[in-house]
Amino acid sequence: MPKKLAAGNWKMNGLREALGEVKALYAACPTPSCDVLICPPATLIRSMSKVCDGIQIDVGGQDCHENTSGAHTGDISAPMLADTGATYVIVGHSERRATYGETDAQIHAKTAAAWAANLTAIVCIGETLDEREADKTLHIVGGQLAKSVPDAATPTNLVIAYEPVWAIGTGKTPTLAEIEAVHTFIRTRLVERFGPQGHEMRILYGGSMNPKNATDIAAVPNVDGGLVGGASLKASDFITIVQALNA
């Protein structure tokens, strides 16, 4: 079984004082048996990387441009993220797919760019409520998985995050059986495409994961960790999730 990953996505939250949350997380859980990652806003990556130097917390970006440099005002490239100390980057988050119209083809290109910069890409996939109600969940998730992930995926450079769009920031989650069904489907597709290595690729659940539901979700077959938004902002909440994934 792959080593579990507790990944925090801070989204557009956090000023410098928020670095104290990372220190509190480390103080409470200095040697976790799972991997721990925080993806803060780009403005905090460098200072967080310094705080996390030599400790078991990795730092990642929340997005990268598909090009390495150029006239792209406001964007950040994968080599720039790596240069600030990031080792992971989230790509294809549903908020970016929805707000900026990011396509699977773009996410494919961003993932390849992440790999070229030696970053592990966390590729997000997931259905909307309309798609779930129309019984299209597996069709949507399967299509995003096939089109967003390049052929050179390995268990080291790729993490998949299954995030039902309707569960993000809403306090609603699928049932454990529904989570298991989608994660098992993703696992099957990964093994069909990448062979035995597909068993080692991590599949995170994301969407309203919190200290109360983390233990149950962490125990679902083929759930190899969580991508946590709101509940990763406070160390006191995120510690409980890290501990649930430690078990």
Active site residue ranges: 93, 163
DSSP H stretches of helix in the chain? 19-28, 42-51, 78-83, 94-100, 104-116, 129-133, 137-148, 176-194, 214-218, 235-246
d(C-alpha 246, C-alpha 49), whole Å: 23
Positions touching ligand PGA (CB under 6 A) are: 9, 163, 168-169, 206-209, 227-231
For ligand PGA, the closer CB: 198 or 230: 230
Provide the 3-class DSSP secondary structure of residue 43.
helix
**In the complex, least distance from residue 103 CB atom to ligand PGA, rounded to whole angstroms:** 19
Burial class (CB in 10 A: 0-12, 13-18, 19+), 23: middle
Whole-angstrom Cα Rg for the chain: 17
**In the complex, least distance from residue 58 CB atom to ligand PGA, rounded to whole angstroms:** 16
For ligand PGA, the closer CB: 32 or 206: 206
CA angle at 59 for the pair 53 and 63, rounded to the nearest 5°? 150
**In the complex, least distance from residue 231 CB atom to ligand PGA, rounded to whole angstroms:** 6
**In the complex, least distance from residue 38 CB atom to ligand PGA, rounded to whole angstroms:** 12
For ligand PGA, the closer CB: 29 or 168: 168
36: its two tokens: 């721990």
Count CB atoms within 10 A of the CB of residue 213.
17
**In the complex, least distance from residue 163 CB atom to ligand PGA, rounded to whole angstroms:** 6
Instruction: For the chain, give percent helix, strand, coil, nearest 5.
Output: 45, 15, 40
> By beta-carbon distance, which residue lies closest to ligand PGA?
229
Cβ atoms of 9 and 232 within 8 Å: the answer is: yes
For ligand PGA, the closer CB: 9 or 222: 9
For ligand PGA, the closer CB: 68 or 100: 100
